[in-house]
Amino acid sequence: MGLFCVSQVLPGSSLGAEQIDPLLKKALSILNSTSGGKLLLEKAVILWEAKTLDELSHHLRWSSTSRTDAVLTRQFDPMTGQETRSREVTIYLKRTTSMPDLVLDIAHEMVHATSRPAWDPYDPALTAGKYIWTTLEGEGGEVEAVIAECRISSEVPSFQEIYKKRCSTYLDSSKALVDRTKVRQDFYRVGRWNKELLRELGHEVVTLPLLTADEPRLISSTGSTPYPVALLREYRELTQVACENSKKRIEVAAHQTVGRSLASETTTPERENKDFLQRRCKSRTF
C-alpha cells in the first residue's frame, strides 16, 4: 500500500549499504528475469538515476510491513511568492523468509514508486472520495499493483503456487489473463464497515459505485482493514498535516513581512494556499 507524507519520513533500517543484502539481490535478480519485472526495474533505474540494479537498494528499507512512502517537501519564499517542491520516494519491505513474497512485494511497491503522483495533498478540490478512488484505481494504484503481481508470478515456474493462491479468482474466461474488473471489485468489499463508510462519505459515495458490504478479501497491511476504510483514515491524517503546514506557512509569511510589502499576497501559490485552508480545513482545530 502506498502512503503519502507531507512532513516527515518514517523510520526504518536502510538496505542501501555498501554491500547489498543477499536476499534483496536474489529478489531483484528474479524480478529482472520476468518481462513485467524488468520494465518496472528499468523505470526505477531511470527515476532514481541508478547505474545498476544494486543501487536501487538505496531506496529500499526493511520494516514491519511493506509499503511505499512519498514525502512531499514545499519551500516557499514569502517575498517573491515563488514555491519549489521536491518528492522523495522510499520503499519499505517486510522481512520474510519467503522469496516469492519478497519478490512480489517489491514488484507491488515498484508500481507505486515509479508512477507519477496521482493527486496533490494540497489540492483544495481533493476529497475523501477522490482520494480513495485515485489511490485504488488511478495510475500506479493498488489495482495496477495487484495485476502486476499476477503477471510477474505467472512467469516464474517456482511461483506457481502463490500465483494460484493470489490470482486464480482474477483470471478471465481464458484463464490466461487477469480481469481488471474482478480485481477492482475485490478492493471495494468492505463487509461490516459498509454502513460507516456510507455515513462518512455522504454524497461522495457516488465516486465509489463498486462499494459493497460483501465479505472483504483484500486487507490493507498498514491499516489492518479493507482498503477504502484504511484510505479514509489516511486521507484524514494527511489533510490534518497539510492544514497545519498551510496555517504555519501563512503565519511565517506574515511574521517575516511585517512593515514590508508582501509580494506573495496575490501570487498563485498563496491564493491556492488560502483556498486550500478555506475548503479543506474549516472544521479543523490547530
Which residues are within 8 A (CB) of 69 and not within 5 positions of it... i.e. 6 or more apart? Answer: 2, 3, 4, 5, 9, 10, 89, 90, 92
Measured CA to CA, the distance from residue 150 to residue 103 in angstroms comes to 12
| pLDDT digit string, tens, across residues 83-128 | 788 888 999 999 877 999 999 999 999 999 999 888 899 999 999 9
Sign of torsion, CA 61 65 68 74? negative
pLDDT of residue 286: 42
pLDDT of residue 8: 35
Cα radius of gyration (the chain): 21
The helix (run of H) or strand (run of E) holding residue 3 is strand 2-5
Measured CA to CA, the distance from residue 136 to residue 129 in angstroms comes to 11
| pLDDT digit string, tens, across residues 166-187 | 999 999 988 889 999 999 999 9
Measured CA to CA, the distance from residue 208 to residue 202 in angstroms comes to 11
Which range, of 69-73, 133-137, 191-195, averages the lowest pLDDT?
Answer: 69-73
Q: In this predicted model, which residue has the larger pLDDT, 8 or 42? A: 42
Domain range summary for the chain, segments of one domain joined by +? 2-255
3-class state of residue 119 by DSSP: coil
Total Cβ atoms within 10 A of residue 57: 21
Place of cell 495533498: 121
| Distance (Å) of CA 129 to CA 9, 181, 208, 228, 236 | 26, 19, 7, 9, 12
Specify the amino acid at residue 61: R
Nearest to 41 by CA among 148, 105, 114: 114
Measured CA to CA, the distance from residue 153 to residue 159 in angstroms comes to 6
The helix (run of H) or strand (run of E) holding residue 84 is strand 82-94
Q: Any idea what DSSP says for residue 206?
A: G
141: its cell numbers: 494504484
pTM (2 d.p.): 0.86
122: left (phi over 0), alpha (psi -120 to 50) or beta: alpha
- Whether 81 and 269 have beta carbons less than 8 Å apart is answered as yes
